[in-house]
Amino acid sequence: MKVILKENVASLGKIGDTIKVSEGYARNYLIPKGLAIEASKKNIKVLEHDKKIIDKKAAKQQQTAEELRDIVESLTCTIARKEGEQGKLFGSVTTKDIEKSLAEQGVTVDRKSINLDEPLKSVGEFSVIVKIYPGVNATLKVVVVGES
């Protein structure tokens, strides 16, 4: 089934893209959540008419994402954990901890957009990639300190 995306969907595409997906995925997920509409002749004509509005919306989201990227890159997340011998942590620092630290600093970021290959298990300074918008990534400085 062909659908036209009304919102950015990470695994599929950007606003306004016409893509082919399975019928179940379209009817049970994309269309009910308002992420896409069926690509009928009528909807394609409406899309062409609304293309300017969609482009403005995408440009605004891009600008907002770039502003958020600048804010995230200027921040440093300091997270304290109990440590054992040789700087090893009891437990680990996960994306949930980083999300909470950012929220305490007034920045809302979904933890699914924080790209952490594996939880941080030692004391030190780490660079973490945060995917804010398609094509807009921020590098966040995370400092893990030990506490007694």
Q: Write the pLDDT tens digit of every residue in 87-108.
A: 788 888 999 999 999 999 988 8
Question: Domain residue spans in the chain?
Answer: 2-64, 70-147
What's domain 70-147's superfamily in CATH? Ribosomal protein L9, C-terminal domain (3.10.430.100)
Q: Write the pLDDT tens digit of every residue in 3-59.
A: 998 888 888 888 888 899 999 999 999 999 999 999 888 888 888 877 788 788 888
Query: 2-64 has which fold?
Result: Ribosomal Protein L9; domain 1 (3.40.5)
pTM as predicted: 0.68
Q: Which residue has the higher pLDDT, 148 or 14?
A: 14
Tell me how far apart the alpha carbons of residues 123 and 72 are, in angstroms, rounded to a whole number.
21
